Chains A and B, each alone.
Chain A
């Protein structure tokens, strides 16, 4: 009897536990509030673009007046949608109203994570190289590794910024009010704003996104077009824009994006993979200097990741500045006492992992199948920007600064890696086992350190109240690579310094772009 009681008790307790523990998960930005900018930045049309010669480089025709039958018909289109809204349509409005720059940034991060996978080897032990003109065949194009991703985030953000500067110019020029200002009876599902609605900033962003992603993720056209259609539809459903606002915005966004696409096609990233001759020469140069050289520790040996990415055109400074002012001096000689000591230090961290260090390693690892370190900093920034109630154009400006800094940081870092071709700790001492995946490229300098310092520096300028926190995060990201036993201390510290320098160039731009 007693035992029956015990059994019943356990079963009841067990089923209570099951029913009380719902598995549903609230993701951090699922319920982000609708954008209600504290300042609509009405003069952003005068901010300095990145590539555009001026905000009016591309013409946007004057909109039809709001008292024409054509405009009234467009307002009626909104009313027709609103008559019979489905739950799905309402959730689309909620999703997109959190901010177009935010949502498209999240979509890009998702694509990076999806495509961030190193190709599987061929039967003969070589590796296939993803092909942009055949993106759906294995290995899918692109392999969205950290340099590729850093560049993608930068072009995507900078193009959005330029396009929105142009959009703001025309908004102020034409000053067409939002449909709910014209028709006071119109139902509105988002916070109202005094910002002129022509051309639609949302459609500008969707237009930039579809055009840039044709280049960056050419195998995802269906997915991207579906998102863009939903995005534009959400604005009509919400009563935020009439169709002509959207059409003008989308057209402007695409034109501006094409300018960035043209730059991207000639920025030398397409040749960054290099050739077998290039890889061999780097090794020989290192031997000629009498230094130990990097060897792939993968089996079969994998060619180094994008060895010529250091030659890609930077956004914030020119290549001479990179070489003369930012490129770090050489790492400790592989035959020096300092190198030996640093190797011992890595071995110590390899052999003495603590739970807290493991947490740090894995929090910042951002390895295969993730958004990469630049994506992680986008996520950190986005979740802070949500709290700031920024206008779309300021969202875009902040992301452009952040992501141009991280792309340039990637270029600086890759330049150092393939200038010095320094070995990894686990290559020098086989007792060193790694607590995270070992990246397949030279050690000096640490990419995570460079990215993180650049990001923390510019973000600290944008949100000074968070500067100390960002610096602490970057410091932790930096140390995570030593704790993980994949980098020497010099890699991390020198990388961090390089990243700060890149971040300072971004601050210079920020101070001069007219937005402050």
Chain B
């Protein structure tokens, strides 16, 4: 039953928690690739929970034990200019329940594409403020089963994301805040009727849209980046899991997590970034209380001649 965390939190997390700085930036941070710079690599994510919120009621479920979601995501970023980057990623996801009889699920999940634009930067003394807008698109790469939560690997919707972000930098100290609106398409079930708060004689589900917020702050050095993160995802609508019911794709899935990000660029191999991070869900609704870890390795280089400047 409750894989919410999986998709709701874990998958966004795979997108969110990717490293920073010159390589391997994400749609959630203030790092830009330079013009013609290409970075790509893999991120591994492990998230698990043994308690979850059924609506607002926190419980465990011995028929699932600990539910885990793992993924390996390929990610690539490219600097069209110093101020305009594009990013793409796609994960392979697999789930497992440690107890009970529910079968695990696995497969390729969603392709995501982002465009990040930094139109404005103000500098005053040792302070710098930059504004960003980010547009995103994601869609399933395969017809995976969405109606087997929490074992399903995804929710199956095609999403369009619009995000605004402000980044403040004082010497090596940084603080970044952003807010996003995620429009989600309807999804289809393999069955031809379902009950949410009423009976629907259709296989199609109206998916509520989602708001996403993040604050991150910490040290951003030449080789090392260390940040603390506070992230919130709020579903704008949807319904609560009824008592002792299974979760459903259009549940009101919310989660607030705290986490850390570390990224290190190997001095002797400046093309190589090593990334590690973790986060913990401190509040949620229709979501698992997940603890997640991730680690990644990214390689960056210039496609063309490195431009002067």
Q: A-side interface residues toward B, CB under 8 Å?
A: 2-4, 6-7, 10-11, 14, 17-18, 21, 23-30, 106, 109-110, 113-114, 117-120, 138, 297-300, 350, 353, 355, 358-359, 361-363, 365-371, 376, 379, 426, 432-438, 485
Contact = CB atoms under 8 A, between A and B. Distances in A.
Interface of B is mostly: loop
B160 A359 contact: no
A114 B195 contact: yes
A23 B102 contact: no
A379 B99 CA distance: 35
Contact of A113 (B99, B148, B199): B199
Interface in B61-114: 62-63, 80-81, 84, 99-104
A274 to B, nearest CB: 21
Contacts of A359: 190
A26 B202 contact: yes
Contacts of B198: 110
Contact of B135 (A11, A117, A370, A426): A11
B201 A14 contact: no
A14 B137 contact: yes
Contacts of A3: 80-81, 84
17 contacts: A7-B117, A10-B115, A21-B185, A23-B186, A25-B204, A26-B202, A28-B201, A109-B199, A113-B195, A117-B242, A300-B62, A353-B103, A358-B190, A362-B147, A370-B194, A379-B192, A435-B103
B246 interface: yes
A120 B243 contact: yes
Shortest Cβ-Cβ A-B pairs, 10 listed: A299-B62, A113-B195, A110-B199, A362-B190, A433-B103, A120-B244, A3-B84, A3-B80, A434-B101, A28-B201
Given A7-B117, A120-B243, A362 B195 contact: no
B274 to A, nearest CB: 30
A74 B186 CA distance: 48
B171 interface: no
Interface of B: 62-63, 80-81, 84, 99-104, 115, 117, 135, 137, 143, 145, 147-148, 160, 183, 185-186, 189-195, 198-202, 204, 206-207, 242-246
Given A7-B84, A10-B135, A18-B183, A297 B242 contact: no
B101 A438 contact: yes
A70 to B, nearest CB: 40
B68 to A, nearest CB: 15
Contacts of B135: 7, 10-11, 14
Given A25-B186, A379-B193, A138 B103 contact: no
B88 to A, nearest CB: 13
Given A18-B160, A110-B195, A368-B246, A23 B147 contact: no
Contact of A369 (B192, B207, B245): B245
Contacts of B63: 298-299
A297 B201 CA distance: 32
Nearest to A6: B80
A29 B81 CA distance: 54
Contacts of A24: 206
Given A23-B206, A26-B202, A371-B199, A433 B102 contact: yes
B180 to A, nearest CB: 13
A14 B192 CA distance: 30
Given A117-B245, A365-B191, A485-B103, 14 more contacts: A6-B115, A11-B135, A21-B185, A25-B204, A27-B200, A27-B201, A106-B199, A297-B101, A298-B63, A299-B63, A300-B62, A361-B190, A371-B199, A432-B101
Contacts of A21: 185-186
A138 B244 CA distance: 12
Contacts of A361: 190
Nearest to A29: B201
A313 to B, nearest CB: 29
B191 A363 contact: yes
A369 to B, nearest CB: 5
Contacts of B160: 14, 17-18
A23 B183 CA distance: 11
A2 B83 CA distance: 13
Contacts of B84: 3-4, 6-7
Nearest to B185: A21
A298 B190 CA distance: 26
Contacts of B207: 23
A159 to B, nearest CB: 21
Contacts of B147: 362
B145 A358 contact: yes
A297 B100 CA distance: 7
Nearest to A359: B190
A281 to B, nearest CB: 26
Contacts of A432: 101
Contacts of B200: 25, 27
B206 A362 contact: no
B145 A362 contact: yes
A366 B195 CA distance: 11
Nearest to B248: A369
A368 B149 CA distance: 13
B243 A117 contact: yes
Contact of A119 (B99, B189, B195, B244): B244
A42 B247 CA distance: 49
A362 to B, nearest CB: 4
A369 B62 contact: no
Contacts of A106: 199, 201
Given A10-B135, A109-B199, A299 B193 contact: no
A308 B80 CA distance: 71
B192 A363 contact: yes
Nearest to B86: A6
A23 B191 CA distance: 19
A426 B101 contact: yes
A138 B195 CA distance: 20
B194 A434 contact: no
Contacts of A434: 101-103
Contacts of A485: 103
A106 B206 CA distance: 21
A393 B192 CA distance: 27
